[in-house]
A = this chain, B = another copy of it.
Amino acid sequence: MTDFNVAFLGAGRMGRTHLRNLAGIPGVHVRAVADADLASAQAGAALVRADRATDDIAGAITAPDVDVVLISTPTPTHAALLEQCAQAGKPVWCEKPVAATLAETERVLASVEAAGIPAMIGFMRRFDPGYAAARRAIDAGEVGTIERFRAISCDYTLPPIEYIRTSGGIFVDMSVHDFDLARFLVGEVEEVSAWGAALIDPAYTEMGDVDSAVAMLRFTNGALGVLEASRRTTWGYDIRTEVAGSRARLVIEAQQKTPLLSSHGLGYHGGHFESFPDRFEAAYRNELAYFFECLRAGEPPMPNVRDALETLRVALAATKSLREGRPVRVSEIA
């Protein structure tokens, strides 16, 4: 078994989740945990008994004892760090998104493709047992020709309004996961038509954004789709996806957080998930394990930067459609 010497960049909340997951993957040796905040780096390093903690993020990438890099730093830093990995010729896994703009994402893509490094982007939903099984069923022909796609993504808790200012808008920030699943399960998206509104908090309008949105998708292979998004529910983290084909319908829905139903008051009651850390707990573990399996097998890990680029293009098409009040072809986004 090949061993990997890893630099882990970004030891915030999700970073520490990834570090704990990393500790359970055989053959992974975390040489360095780097974070702009040294105390965070030290806390993260302690989780995996890493060789060292540092606030020199760039130095961790180029360190001679490091041969793989994992990036979980703040979003605006992803693109530059990916490019540094490319320059260093080191395989990299990076939390999504690559970048907020198409141009920056394309630049990163050019960089990693030129370097020829494996570069995986963390659209973790693909590694949820439900979505992975859906993909296997589709590959096995069980669904037949896909005719319709449905996606819904709603967060439980309304984010601070300040977060919205730089979020890129509801489609880029939230629905991007659904667009990735659309491409993963159905194929490339050709056209999007979107509507939205500030139904929860009028401040969204002032930000030039919406808190609730719907969209229609038309896929290159002819399939049609619908999508919903909302910034808050009262019932939990609402993530559901459907694929309907000529042979079967798949519904990916994790209705119940724990295997417990309580019955009283002439009814029964089950608990929903609260957010991505609980709903996608297994997916986060699986995606890192898969990344290292790919490295070991010499196979390119997916989704890669090109996937992130194409998915972003769909999200930007939806955003443009929302703003311009007309259907937008994905090919317009260039």
Question: Does A166 make an interface contact (CB < 8 A)?
Answer: no
B260 near A251 with CB under 8 A, answer yes
Q: Which residue of B lies closest to A278 (CB)?
A: B129
A221, closest chain B residue (CB): B199
**Cα distance A265–B152 in the bound complex, in angstroms:** 19
Which residue among A144, A195, A218 has the maximum number of chain B CB atoms within 10 Å of its CB?
A: A195
Which residues of B lie under 8 Å from residue A266 when comparing CB positions? 156, 235-236, 271-272, 274
Q: CB distance A148 to B262 under 8 Å?
A: no
- Given contacts A20-B26, A249-B263, A271-B266, whether A200 and B235 have CB atoms under 8 Å apart is no
Q: Does A167 contact B (CB under 8 A)?
A: no
Q: Does A106 count as interface, using CB distance less than 8 angstroms?
A: no
Q: In the assembled complex, how far is the CB of residue A239 from the closest CB belonging to chain B, in whole angstroms?
A: 9
Report how far A251 CA is from B255 CA in the complex, Å: 12
Interface set, chain A 9-48, CB cutoff 8 A to B: 20-21, 23-27, 29, 46-48
A145 sits at the interface (CB 8 A): yes
B residues less than 8 Å from A255 (CB atoms): 259, 268
Question: Roughly how many angstroms separate A295 CA and B268 CA in the complex, as a whole number?
Answer: 37
Residue of B nearest to A271 (CB): B267
Residues of B within 8 A of A23 (CB): 23-26
- Whether B226 and A199, one on each chain, are in contact in the complex, defined by CB atoms closer than 8 angstroms, is no
How many Å lie between the Cα of A238 and that of B267 in the bound state? Answer: 11
A195 contacts B216, C-beta separation under 8 Å: yes
CB atoms of A147 and B269 under 8 A apart: no
Q: Which of A83-91, A95-103, A130-138, A312-320 is the interface stretch?
A: A130-138
Interchain CB contact under 8 A, A262 and B274: no
A227 to B215 CA separation, bound complex (whole angstroms): 10
* Residue A117 is within 8 A (CB to CB) of chain B in the complex: no
- Tell yes or no: A56 within 8 A of B by CB: no
The contact of A249 among B21, B144, B233, by CB within 8 Å, is B233
> In the complex, A134 Cα to B244 Cα: how many Å?
26
Does A252 sit at the interface, judged by CB under 8 A? yes
Known contacts A215-B216, A233-B249, A266-B235; A260/B133 CB under 8 A:
yes
Interface presence of A250 (CB below 8 A)? yes
Assembled-state Cα–Cα distance A149/B215 (Å): 13
Residues B148 and A212 in contact, CB atoms below 8 Å apart: yes
Bound: A262/B228 CA distance, A: 18
Q: List 24 A-B residue pairs with CB atoms under 8 Å apart, sorted by A's residue number.
A: A1-B46, A20-B24, A23-B25, A129-B258, A130-B258, A133-B258, A137-B262, A142-B264, A147-B212, A147-B230, A148-B228, A156-B266, A193-B216, A199-B224, A213-B224, A216-B226, A224-B228, A226-B227, A235-B267, A236-B263, A251-B260, A266-B271, A266-B272, A268-B272
Binding site for B on A (CB under 8 A): 1, 20-21, 23-27, 29, 46-49, 128-134, 137, 142, 144-145, 147-148, 150, 152, 154, 156, 193, 195-197, 199-200, 212-216, 218, 222-228, 230, 233-236, 238, 244, 246-272, 274, 325-327
Please provide the 4 A-B residue pairs with the shortest distance between their CB atoms, ordered closest to farther.
A235-B263, A130-B259, A254-B259, A248-B264
